[in-house]
Amino acid sequence: MQSDRRPTVTDEVIVINDDIDVNYGVFKNGFIFRRAANSWRLWPMLEFVPPKLNPTIAEMFDAGVAWTFCEHVSVAVSGWAEYVFEGPDGPITQVWTPGCHNVENGGGYLPTGEFTRCFHDDFTLCCVVQKFQRTPGIQYHFEVVTGSAALGSDALFVHYVTGARQRQTDFDLVAGHVLDIAPSDIAIIGRIR
């Protein structure tokens, strides 16, 4: 059960710029972590768009779990975790495995209500996180891609979550640049809106 407030065994922070970092956290096996309702309220919210394409989020949205939408990315890298959300008819459990993420429509979906997570097999999560004293007026747009892709527009950065270049970042890429990513690998593309 949640005996302390720090659910991670290790954390690695990779600085992207003055506004955002990438964080890799390995979570304590068997640890149950409760995230309070509206715990994301300090982050600027984006205009809400219902999720449709990302099955991880759309499945829970369709089941009645309420979400916020903001500049945040969470990608499961290894291990697995049980996420328990509160739906209209009671608790709903979803298992997050490598590749599950919260990104669609250029932002990240986060639950509005309280939820818990129980971590197994060194569950590792890669997150793009906002710094508190960020640049006013700047908004970010995120995309998670698997496999090779050509950039449709300029990108501020591409961070490689898994694969041969894991934990590396390329900056200031132009439209048309081809990302060389193996079919099962994951990258996060960050742009200024």
For 105, the domain range is 8-136
In a domain, 153, yes or no: no
**pLDDT over 80 at 6, yes or no:** no
In a domain, 14, yes or no: yes
Residue with token string 């300029």: 154
Given this model, what pLDDT does residue 3 score? 47
Interval 48-60 mean pLDDT: 96
CB 151 within 8 A of CB 191: no
**pLDDT over 70 at 2, yes or no:** no
Residue 34: name the closest of 70, 75, 84, 73 by CA.
84
We report the CATH number of the domain holding residue 95 as: 2.60.120.10
Q: Which two tokens stand for residue 100?
A: 């599950």
| Digit-coded pLDDT (tens) for 98-116 | 999 999 999 999 999 999 9
In a domain, 168, yes or no: no
**pLDDT over 90 at 93, yes or no:** yes
DSSP-assigned beta bridge partners for residue 45? 70
Backbone angles phi, psi at 108, to 5 degrees: -115, 140
In a domain, 94, yes or no: yes
Strand, coil or helix: 159: strand
Tell me, what amino acid is at 80?
Answer: W
Q: Which residue has the higher pLDDT, 133 or 62?
A: 62
Given this model, what pLDDT does residue 121 score? 98
Given this model, what pLDDT does residue 142 score? 97
Interval 146-170 mean pLDDT: 95
Interval 163-176 mean pLDDT: 96
Interval 171-177 mean pLDDT: 97
Please tell me the total count of domains within the chain.
1
Residue with token string 């945040």: 72
Please, what is the average pLDDT of the chain?
A: 92
**pLDDT over 90 at 183, yes or no:** no
